[in-house]
Homo-oligomer: A and B are copies of this chain.
């Protein structure tokens, strides 16, 4: 790729904006030295923060308007047309930038991005996807809150998008897919889940469908892609975060409970730092708004420069690996496959051998 990649950033979104945005760019530059950034926000706040060595890689576009964390998505769409968030999205729509990153209000970002970028052909509802740590490495989970209630076809679309996301971002050659349920038997769960299960069981696009998985399969890494509705996914992700915090608290109490334990902690400190690193939420920062006609990454609102740099990295990886082109292709194949009658048994048996 000879052309320089440009990302647009909502420089005002997030608790520690705009300085963590600028510091995040500085960190990201070590991995991606050639990327150019369009920063949308208050230039009086942003420009003084941009260090000399970044000047050639950053363009600041001024706007006074900011979407706050309390703004309702509908309100943001109606009145936030000149906000840093809206303008950063618009830069992607107009082809100025290859993708957008924001640490602002998730609901507003999804609503504005959906309205401005539209969904990819074949995708009815975009979803929020993220990576999560597991015993086996890393998995992808979606949806995490964009769709409180879903139909079977939405879950099937999430499976397709999650599969492509897993290949693009984690390099899994043939990721396994699981539908999150409350039991592994075919009869458990909601109608939408059972219907999606029977569609996915036919393995469209040679997808490796594992079947239903349960809550404890998330941490166990039973599958590479966990598909669920936005309500359940959001609760599951936050429950996992809360449990990790609880465990950390218990450990801290234990290491402080005796002199021997304190010495033990000092000796194991270096090794324990690895645990912290493996579960560091900043490492998993950068949720993808997937299914939109443009790369759109949401950083955690409370993140620091390290987390924001990771969100930038996610956006760049998805652009380089042409995530959206590949989702488009899968959807086109699927549409083609569903329109064409299935091949006769004799010709299809060769493929399965």
Contacts and interface: CB of A to CB of B under 8 A. Distances in A.
A190 interface: yes
A285 interface: no
Nearest to A215: B238
B234 A239 contact: no
A271 interface: yes
A289 to B, nearest CB: 16
Contacts of A190: 148-149, 231
Contacts of A231: 182, 189-190, 232
Contacts of A230: 182
Nearest to A248: B247
A72 B187 contact: yes
Interface stretch (A25-33, A262-270, A329-337): A262-270
A165 to B, nearest CB: 20
A197 to B, nearest CB: 14
A134 interface: yes
A286 B272 CA distance: 33
Interface string A214-226: 1111111000000
Interface residues of A, number: 62
A269 B268 CA distance: 12
A271 B247 contact: no
Contacts of A268: 254-255, 260-261, 264-265, 268
B275 A254 contact: yes
Given A182-B234, A231-B232, A270-B258, A245 B145 contact: no
26 contacts: A148-B190, A214-B238, A215-B238, A215-B239, A218-B239, A218-B243, A219-B246, A228-B235, A236-B236, A239-B243, A240-B240, A243-B243, A243-B244, A244-B247, A247-B247, A250-B274, A250-B275, A250-B278, A251-B275, A260-B270, A261-B267, A261-B272, A263-B267, A264-B268, A264-B269, A267-B267
Given A261-B270, A263-B264, 19 more contacts: A133-B246, A134-B246, A148-B190, A189-B231, A214-B235, A214-B238, A215-B238, A216-B242, A216-B245, A219-B245, A231-B232, A232-B235, A235-B235, A239-B243, A240-B242, A247-B247, A261-B272, A264-B264, A265-B268
